[in-house]
Amino acid sequence: MIKIGNIELCEFPILLAPMEDVTDPPFRFVCKMFGADLMYTEFISSEGLIRDAAKSVKKLDFEESERPIGIQIFGHDIDSMVKAAQYAERANPDIIDINYGCPVKKVVAKGAGAGILNDIPKMVKMTKAVVDSVKLPVTVKTRLGYDDEHKEIVEIAERLQDIGIQAITIHGRTRTQKPRIPADWKLIGDVKNNPRMRIPVFGNGDVVNAESAKYFKDNFGVDGLMVARGVYGNPWIFSEIKHYLKTGEQLPLPNINERIRVSKIQLKKSCEWKGERRGVLEIRKHWGDYFKGYSNFKPFRIKLMEAVTEIEVINTLEEARQLYA
């Protein structure tokens, strides 16, 4: 049993990574259907939250069925991060998570996200201020370091643990490394195997299917895995990983009927949460992933991208079903 504060997870939890414009409540709903053990909101700007910016506040939304759920915040100003953590705590999540991993240039340039890896003393000071300001468990998601010359994650993890975080998720790349560079799990393993570490250590990076999950679990000793890109159009990945770890057998790939069933659930949730027009528009980014690998799907994808009503989307999906069933 893995515990984050008083939150009990299973023996080897599989987490859904927080991803901007991807892990909204409709998508989290379908990931939970297939066994995501812990999920996080999209990352939320501390400055936006304390200014009551509508987009930031909307990201606090979650359903009870999503628990345990963490709200992830990011920022560069310590006072703003403290206020944002307290604001987020009032939404009553299970965890407050701090994003020290976002590599996006405009975030990093302000010293937020992975940018703070250039200033470890400030990182520690900010984390302690957030931990001391809320009653909920605080966790951190970060990277190996800022660049190849500063892979300081073993020291960073220990220092953050010592000022009170309850778990850490480590992405196996530096801020400057591109996604095409394989994640360096050796350093993640070094953190976990540090005899001074007492909190759960989760690994992230290149967990794209059941086989990769088993490899990382067996070789690096982490307490659980966080899935990011591997979940695109594939909320089934959680059940696939768990089944493979338990039995050594692969679950069959979801067929067209299952893909349409689940994507329609996400569509319905998207329209309920955002309103029909915005819900249809914002689910568009998922269509290519849901039906990736289906030959001659392009005409359907074009129609899905052009649809502006829920019924138009449903009718197009049913047309696709007739072709591929």
98, β-bridge pairs: 73, 140
Q: Which residue, 155, 169, 242, is CA-closest to 199? A: 169
Question: What are φ and ψ of residue 163, in 5° steps?
Answer: -105, 10
Q: Exposed, middle or buried by CB within 10 Å (0-12, 13-18, 19+), for 8?
A: exposed
Percentages helix, strand, coil for the chain (3-state, rounded to 5) are: 50, 15, 40
Residue 187 tokens read as: 């350093």
DSSP string across 129-198? HHHHH-SS-EEEEEES-SSTT---HHHHHHHHHHTT-SEEEEESS-SSS-TTSPP-HHHHHHHHT-TT--
How many C-beta neighbours within 10 Å does residue 120 have? 17
Pairwise CA distance, residues 4 & 199, whole Å: 8
Pairwise CA distance, residues 171 & 173, whole Å: 6
Mind telling me the catalytic residues?
A: 102
